[in-house]
Structure 1
Amino acid sequence: MTQNNGRTQLEKPGFNGAEIVQNVVAGLTVSFVAISLGAAFGVLSGRGAYAGIISAGVIAFITALLGGTRIQCSGPTAPMTAVTLIVVTAASQQDYSRWPGVTADHFINLAIIMTGLILIVAGIVRLGRFIALVPKVVISGFMNGIAILIWMDQIRKIFGIGGAKAYEGPVLLNTVVAICTLLLLFILPIKLRRWLGDKHRFFPATLITIVGMSALVHLAGWDIERVHLEATLSSFGDFKDLLAAQFPTSWAPDLLMAVMPFALQLALLAYLDSLLTSLVIDKMTDEQTGQNKELVAQGAANLVTGFLAGIPGAQATIRSVLILKENATLRLAGIMVGVFVLIEMMLFQNYVKLIPQAVFAGLLIKVGYDVFDWLPVWLYARERAKKRHEGLHTYIKTRYQDPIHVTHLEMAFIIGTTLVTVVYNLNAAVIGFSVLFMIGKRFWHIRDLKPVEETGAMGAED
């Protein structure tokens, strides 16, 4: 691996012992982040920490093995999980008397399985090239909408508002734990880099925060709600029972039609999430993702996850960037992320039950912050501050040295996409505003923001 103008040049894959060890270590390091986020996203989805962890392992393994982006890490992501929560909620409200033997879990699993099938078909018919048609302002808007949905969900659960059941225990204690977790997630990475230099990568701030806050709550004797593991695996028999219990018992046409809108929504989001992240990785490595191959790999991963009662996923930006920063050069690195996550799940599944729900709430609020596309907002504020507040303008100009200017119209597209995503539907937001943008571009010469790989609009977790 060499550096050229800030980009990582991946050498032709080699198989010497040192390189294999280097990639195994990279996979081990990233696996700690993957398992932490997997558990958090499982909690956010409503399917539980176990579902998120097993999905983090399976999706990472399959996509690294088969994907079109050679060096990457896939798994549950914040956008995919926010939409999964919608699917879980809808599944709980279905009338299953029409489909004897079908449960809400079967409904959700079918949605994930069909998501995988749709992605596989999209790759086979070569739809990957159409990613270039989605305007950057629309991408920015729906990412912001996803972030707001995550924030709203966690606030409802902490305070028990908006029809949500509050976490068990005093609201004040849960709030304090969530806030302390959030502060640590902002501060600890900076401190670790300062204290440890290059060695900081061996001490994942996310994992340290989760373990540290869980230990603090335990030692303080605070009686607040812990994470619930809906299932555990201790033997091959347990795994076999899991497959038997989760396999859909009906494939009736009317059931598939009821599931289809959710599958399409998840598939569209996986398409966007994966291929936009691949643009970021291509920019960093000077490689070229096989977009259709990537779609097939993501489809296969989600298909398998659906049979395991997991949650859907896509190529994850921060995990993919992190594995590159850990000097990964082979597909082996991503494969080992999946292997290590599954091993860690078996070894530490009993300890996951000790983590307070409020710790994951703080983590997910931080994830929402990372997902939110702040750059256009700051650049728009910079333009508005030119005449009204010179100090603010100077600060933003110094911190965000970017030549683009965000106009009123571009910001209107971002805000519009955000609002429709939050109050109505992600598909309607993306498709509707993309069509509106194309009409405006043709007749009114509306321009778009710079390409996403340059602005970093998808540079978020995931």
Structure 2
Amino acid sequence: MKGAMKVVEKIKKEWFSNVRGDVLAGILVALALIPEAIAFSIIAGVDPMVGLYASFCIAVIISFVGGRPGMISAATGAMALLMVPLVKEHGLNYLLAATILTGVIQILFGVCKVAKVMKFIPRAVMIGFVNALAILIFMAQVPHFIGISNMTYIFVAITLLMIYVIPRFIKSIPSPLIAIILLTTVAIFSDMDLRTVGDLGAMKQSLPPFFIPDVPFNMETLAIIFPYSLALAIVGLLETLLTASIVDNMTDTDSNKNKESRGQGIANIITGFFGGMAGCAMIGQSVINVKSGGRGRLSTFVAGMGLMFLIIALGDIVIQIPMAVLVGDYGVHWNF
């Protein structure tokens, strides 16, 4: 009886102790996740829906099985960067198979309590890891604005300027989100010569379908995807534990790092079967969530569900976001 009461109290504390703050923060994060998921899909070389489906699935699943309430997990730039060679050489189905294997490896890491070992990684190494990925992600954006049009350069410059200046006057709404909304509106009504998200792939206004990756189930396939899956599992866990530590410090609470590792694994396995790429915790979005009042699992759940609602309801607008704006966004907004 006492055990059941403890479970009920834990659920109330993690899910319903801060309903208003969690819902509002989750909605804000959902809005900011759209351009990020699209941009990370572009980096990986896959259809935008792959990143959007991943962000939806991972956020919703991790809200139930993760070890750090209030932390946002979705498709990330760090993971997307590692996927580029695999997608280029073998295609999407091998990426989905690698995503599933990534989840299996992360569950094993959690069971073996590898999170304890991660604590010994020097802070300087972690900072170098994050900044190096930031530079590589920006370089991956270069082909999307070099040699396109003069208006593309102008939009990139304006985006960078807005992202730097807006926070001095408005702190309640992320500056990249404001830049994306305003400049997309200008682009839609001015008929400018700009490449848009819609030029990169079709936007499906539907829930992700379940399917098994179309790859041969043999040792040759395993030999292809295992190196990528191992790298994705390690990088994803590093970024997740770093983010968890940041959220721990911001909220003055503790988290279960091994449970989080297992949760990330479960989320990636399920995501791979629903057409999504591997993901992990996001430093920037988690900070935005906490600063906006998000504390519980409900904020992560609302972020994921809100993202899918926006895609289904506003997909026709999302495809009109100029690529130049996303490039400018990731020139300074390193939210892995």
Fold shared, TM-score > 0.5 on shorter chain = yes
Q: Distance in 2 between matches of 1:307 and 1:175?
A: 39
Higher mean displacement: 174-183 or 135-144 = 135-144
- Residues 182 and 365 in structure 1, CA contact (< 8 A), matched pair in contact too: yes
Amino acid at match of 2:271: T
Change in 2 beyond 3 A, CA 1:247/1:331:
same
Equivalent residues of 2:57, 2:271 under 8 A apart: yes
Matches within 5 A, 1:310-329: 310-329=276-295
C-alpha distance in 1 between matches for 2:268 and 2:40: 15
Mapped partners of 1:323, 1:340: distance in 2:
14
1:265 pairs, out of 228, 231, 240, with: 231
1:218 equivalent in structure 2? 188
Distance 1:350 1:130 in 2: 46
8 A contact 2:65–2:263 mirrored in 1: yes
Q: Deviation at 1:323?
A: 1.6
The one-letter amino acid of 1:29's match is L
Aligned runs of 1:321-400 on 2, under 5 Å? 321-367=287-333, 370=334
Equivalences for residues 63-462 of structure 1 within 5 A: 63-91=62-90, 104-159=91-146, 169-170=148-149, 172-193=150-171, 201=172, 203-228=173-198, 230-234=201-205, 239-240=208-209, 243-244=210-211, 247-367=213-333, 370=334, 461-462=335-336
Change beyond 3 A, Cα 1:235–1:268: closer
- What CA distance in whole angstroms lies between the structure 2 residues aligned with 1:141 and 1:329? 28
Amino acid at match of 1:152: M
Q: TM-score when scaled to structure 2?
A: 0.89
**Rg larger for:** 1
Tell me if the contact between 2:14 and 2:297 (Cα under 8 Å) persists in the aligned partners. Answer: no
Distance 1:232 1:155, change over 3 A: closer
Structure 2: how far apart are the matches of 1:309 and 1:142? Answer: 28
Question: Taking CA–CA contacts closer than 8 Å with sequence separation of 6 or more, which of the two structures ends up with the larger relative contact order?
Answer: 2
- State whether residues 29 and 289 of structure 2, in contact with CA within 8 Å, keep that contact through their aligned partners in structure 1: yes
Shift of the alpha carbon at 1:256?
1.0
Paired residues of 1:63 and 1:74 also in contact (CA < 8 A): yes
1:235 Cα shift?
Answer: 5.3
Structure 1: state its 5+ residue gaps.
1-11, 92-103, 160-165, 194-200, 371-460
Given the two structures, how large is their TM-score scaled by the length of structure 1? 0.66
Consecutive aligned runs of 4 or more in structure 1 exceeding 4 Å deviation:
none
One-letter code of the match for 1:54?
Y
Tell me, yes or no, if the aligned pair for 1:185 and 1:209 is still in contact at 8 Å: yes
CA deviation after TM superposition for structure 1 residue 269, in Å: 0.3
Shift of residue 295 of structure 1?
A: 0.5
CA offset at residue 152 of structure 1?
1.7
User: RMSD across aligned C-alpha pairs, in angstroms?
Assistant: 2.2
Counterpart CA distance in 2 for 1:29 and 1:235 is 21
Is the 8 Å Cα contact of residues 94 and 213 (structure 2) preserved in structure 1? no
1:209–1:15 Cα change, 3 Å: closer
Give, as a single letter, the amino acid of the residue that structure 2 aligns with 1:107: Y
Aligned length: 324
CA distance in 2, matches of 1:293, 1:48: 31
CA shift, 1:332, in A, is 1.1
Kept in 2: contact 1:36–1:206 (CA 8 A): no
* Unpaired runs of at least 5, structure 2: 1-11
